[in-house]
Amino acid sequence: MRGAHWLAWRQQRTLILVATLSLLACTAYVWFRRTEMLSFIAEHHITVCKGWNGPCGSLFTERLLRDNGDPIRALATLSMAFPALIGAFWGAPLIGRELESGTFKLALTQGITPLRWFAARFGLAVLYALLGSTLLAALVAWWWAPISNMLDGPYWYDGYIFNATGPAALACALFGLAAGTAAGLLTRRLLPAMGIAMASVAAVRLALTFVRSDWLPPTVRVTPGIVPKIRVGSAWSTGKFGYIKPSGAEEGVMNCPFSGAELKRCMAEHGYVARFHKVHPSSDFWPLQWIETAILLSLAITLTALTVHWLRTRHV
Partner 1 sequence: MTDPTAPMALRATRLGRRFRSGWALRDCEFELPAGRVTALVGPNGAGKSTLLHLATDLLRPTTGELRIFGAAPGTAEARDRTAFLAQDKPLYPRFTVADTLRFGREFNRTWDQATAERIVRAGGIDLPTQVGTLSQGQCTRIALALALGKRPELLLLDEPLADLDPLVRHEVMGLLMAEAAERGITVVMSSHVLSELENVCDYVLLLKHGGVRLVGDTQELRETHALITGRADDGADDGLPPEVDRATVVETALTGRQVTALVREPDLVDRRWLTETPSLEDLLLGYLRSDARPAPRPAHGGPAEEAA
By CB under 8 A, name the binding residues for partner 1. 2-4, 6-7, 10-11, 101-113, 313-316
* CB closer to partner 1 out of 4 and 197: 4
* CB closer to partner 1 out of 44 and 105: 105
Shortest Cβ 128–partner 1 spacing (Å)? 19
Shortest Cβ 124–partner 1 spacing (Å)? 15
* CB closer to partner 1 out of 107 and 130: 107
Burial string for 71-102 (b: 16+ CB within 10 Å, else e) reads ebbebbebbbbbbbbbbbbbbbbbbbbbbbee
Structural contact between residues 167 and 290, judged by C-beta atoms closer than 8 angstroms? yes
* CB closer to partner 1 out of 111 and 224: 111
Q: DSSP letter for 238, please.
A: E
* CB closer to partner 1 out of 11 and 282: 11
Shortest Cβ 316–partner 1 spacing (Å)? 5
* CB closer to partner 1 out of 6 and 32: 6
Q: CA-CA distance, 147 to 49, in Å (whole number)?
A: 8
Shortest Cβ 309–partner 1 spacing (Å)? 13
Angle at 81 between CA 77 and CA 85, to 5 degrees: 150
Q: DSSP letter for 87, please.
A: I
Q: DSSP letter for 91, please.
A: I
Structural contact between residues 179 and 91, judged by C-beta atoms closer than 8 angstroms? yes
Angle, helices 285-312 vs 114-144, to 10°: value is: 160
Shortest Cβ 121–partner 1 spacing (Å)? 13
Shortest Cβ 126–partner 1 spacing (Å)? 21
Shortest Cβ 106–partner 1 spacing (Å)? 5
What is the sign, positive or negative, of the torsion defined by CA atoms of 108, 109, 115, 118?
A: negative
SS (H, E, C) 3-26: HHHHHHHHHHHHHHHHHHHHHHHH
Q: Where are the alpha helices (DSSP H) in 145-165?
A: 159-162
Phi and psi torsions of 109, nearest 5° = -110, 20
Within 10 A of 119 (CB to CB), how many other CB atoms are there?
17
Phi and psi torsions of 24, nearest 5° = -65, -40
Angle at 79 between CA 73 and CA 81, to 5 degrees: 100
* CB closer to partner 1 out of 136 and 190: 190
Q: CA-CA distance, 41 to 32, in Å (whole number)?
A: 15
Shortest Cβ 125–partner 1 spacing (Å)? 17
* CB closer to partner 1 out of 58 and 110: 110
